[in-house]
Amino acid sequence: MANTYDLIIIGGGPAGLSAAIYGGRARLKTLVINKGTIGGLVNTTREIVNYPGYTQVSGPDLMKDFHKHAQSFGVEFLKEEVVSVDLSQEEKTIKTKKGKEFSAKAVIIACGSEPRLLNIPGEKRLRGSGVAYCATCDAEFFEGEDVVVVGSGDQAIEEGMFITKFARKVTVIVLHDEGILDCNKVSAEKAFNNPKIEFVWNATIEEVLGVENVEGVKLKNLKTGSSSELTCQGVFFFVGMVPSTKYLIDTGIEIDRRGYIPVNDLMETNLEGVYAVGDNRIKYLRQVVSAAGDGATAAVAAERYIEELNVFNSNVLQSEKKVLLLFENALINESLEFGTLLEEVNSESADNYKIVKVDMATKKNLAHKYDIKTAPAVIVLEKGKEIKRLTCVLDKDKLKSQLC
Amino acid sequence: MSLQQLNSNSFEEIIYDDCESCLVIFSRKDCHVCKEVVPMLDELKPQYEGKFGFFYVDVEEDKNLFQRFSLKGVPQILFFANGEYQGKLAGKVEEETVEEKIAEVLNA
Ligand SMILES: Cc1cc2nc3c(=O)[nH]c(=O)nc-3n(C[C@H](O)[C@H](O)[C@H](O)COP(=O)(O)OP(=O)(O)OC[C@H]3O[C@@H](n4cnc5c(N)ncnc54)[C@H](O)[C@@H]3O)c2cc1C
């Protein structure tokens, strides 16, 4: 089938592209599905100075290099939005907004995040009429005008400084006490020394005012509770990001309250063969370099998982001999003893069967697939089909009688 | 891109002289949201061939056009019929929203 892949990566930011490089290099048939521009959030960054090997590079240029690198390993790309998934089965299926369907053995989720909306009155209505979220895109429209920036993180302060190239004045609305910004120290110092930047401390924005275009904002002082109005022609919101993982809710994948996906060291989610990387996962540092590291880890973990899957298929499902699929638990003595006995019985009857051991602790998916809850358990397979289940007793004769 | 780019002169001709029912996206090259919206319009265009026009304005090349409509950001899709402005959609809009707005303009 043309739409079947080894590995599908949802999202083409730095995390997804790094996973694609590793997946392509491992000769996995790999597809990246990405809505919008390849490179993700990094495309909105004018200047990156902390990606190793690049002293200074623009976000889009860096991502072009990532993209080219992935293409050089034969990775396929599709510009589409993924809207629904079924990841709980061994064969994962993915549907796009335009109705295309794909399946894969392993899936890496690398959807990054989008700007958080405050959902205050006027914000949505005046979007594009003075309410903005991207300084690179829109700062120029505010030539000689007064602009309000909401937020005090790296993005807010750095974008605020960029806006001063066009605007007459930029007023930054900060939640904290005077002098405290959430951004890095270098940017804070630059902002304090920028004559075009002013600050309103201990404040938040309650409403964007204006009929056709933005005419001002309503602010609330958090200390006194009093409201005030400030005249301006533009408002830029930089109040953080939310993970783009909404389409994964109720698909069986574990997601926390804020939309982040918990993973282990291998980037494995609670579903086998499904990985989450970059800004989508719960982590300490959300940057390009760490997103790239995640992508590499997940792709290697996915490669191993697929390899195991393939081995199982050829060893068990396509075996000439009948197979005894033995589910074991190393922590249960009886389970280990039973394993030994089973091997003994089999070798005494001319190795009629091929015994394949499955560790219940690591192969949860297989246990689930065959509906096995306790070890030991044995399923007899012929040409991949279950023909019976053994009663697991530590009695040689009884066991033998079941195997003839 | 299959959208025809307009400058001040061709804008005047198509919108006001020919009175074509159409949309015009105001966009710029380095805006990431535009890069999502423009291809969406590109794909939508063939369905409306002969019924509804799809055009493109680069705000860096034709500053006076966005100033004239006092636009405050890109991308913005402006709708026209019979030489009259019919409203706009701003920012990251979905395909369905554009289709609804076109239907509204065509049925008006
Ligand atoms: C203003 C700003 C400045 C920054 N500056 C720096 C910096 O200087 N250095 C640094 O290291 N980091 C910086 N960062 C952080 C960095 O951009 C992120 O950590 C990084 O982009 C995360 O990569 P990602 O691959 O996880 O996600 P993203 O880059 O967000 O990419 C996700 C991709 O997935 C796509 N997608 C989402 N949902 C779907 C779907 N349903 N179907 C298909 N595709 C989908 C998106 O369109 C996007 O292309 C900055 C962030 C911001 C906001």
Which ipTM value was assigned to this complex? 0.74
> Can you give the pLDDT at residue A1?
53
Q: How many domains is chain B partitioned into structurally?
A: 1
**Residue B21 belongs to a domain with what CATH number?**
3.40.30.10
The answer to whether residues A288 and A363 belong to one domain is no
Q: Where are the alpha helices (DSSP H) in A112-153?
A: 135-138
For A164, the domain range is 131-237
> Can you give the pLDDT at residue B92?
86
Position A126 in a domain:
no
- Which residues of chain A neighbour B32 with C-beta distances below 8 Å? 36-37, 43-44, 134, 136-137
Nearest to B21 by CA among B100, B84, B87, B80: B80
B75 cis-preceded (ω within 30 degrees of 0):
yes
Last residue of one domain, picked from the residues A220, A237, A254: A237
The answer to whether residues A106 and A246 belong to one domain is yes
Place of tokens 């109040």: A239
For B86, the domain range is 4-107
The answer to whether residues A249 and A295 belong to one domain is yes
Last residue of one domain, picked from the residues A221, A237, A253: A237
Last residue of one domain, picked from the residues A312, A335, A361: A312
Query: Can you read off the two tokens belonging to residue A118?
Result: 């405050």
Q: Report the alpha-carbon distance of residue A344 to residue A338 in Å, rounded.
A: 10
> Can you give the pLDDT at residue A347?
92
Kindly tell me the burial class for residue A300, based on how many C-beta atoms sit within 10 Å of its own C-beta (0-12, 13-18, 19 or more): middle
Q: How many domains is chain A partitioned into structurally?
A: 3
**Residue A89 belongs to a domain with what CATH number?**
3.50.50.60
Kindly tell me the burial class for residue A204, based on how many C-beta atoms sit within 10 Å of its own C-beta (0-12, 13-18, 19 or more): middle
Give the long-range contacts of residues A399-403, CB within 8 A, separation 24 or more. Answer: A399/A341, A399/A342, A399/A345, A400/A345, A400/A348, A400/A349, A403/A345, A403/A346, A403/A349, A403/A352, A403/A353
Yes or no, beta carbons of B31 and A127 under 8 Å apart: no
Kindly give the confidence (pLDDT) of every residue in chain A, 404 residues in length, as a single tens digit, with 9 standing for 90 and above: 569 999 999 999 999 999 999 999 999 999 999 998 899 999 888 889 999 999 999 999 999 999 999 999 999 999 999 999 999 988 999 999 989 999 999 999 999 999 899 999 999 999 889 999 989 889 989 999 999 999 999 999 999 999 999 999 999 999 999 999 999 999 999 999 999 999 999 999 999 999 989 999 999 999 999 999 999 999 999 999 999 999 999 999 999 999 999 999 999 999 999 999 999 999 999 999 999 999 999 999 999 999 989 989 998 999 999 999 999 998 999 999 999 999 999 999 888 999 999 998 877 778 888 999 999 999 999 998 999 999 999 999 999 999 87
Position A120 in a domain:
no
**A67 at the B interface (CB within 8 A)?**
no
> Can you give the pLDDT at residue A2?
67
Composition of chain A by helix, strand, coil, percent to 5: 30, 30, 40
Contact predicate B2/B33, CB 8 Å: no
How close B57 gets to chain A, by Cα (Å)? Answer: 15
The answer to whether residues A257 and A359 belong to one domain is no
State pLDDT tens for residues B66-104.
888 888 889 999 999 999 999 999 988 988 899 999 999
Q: Are strands A241-243 and A113-115 parallel, antiparallel or unpaired?
A: antiparallel
How close B76 gets to chain A, by Cα (Å)? Answer: 7
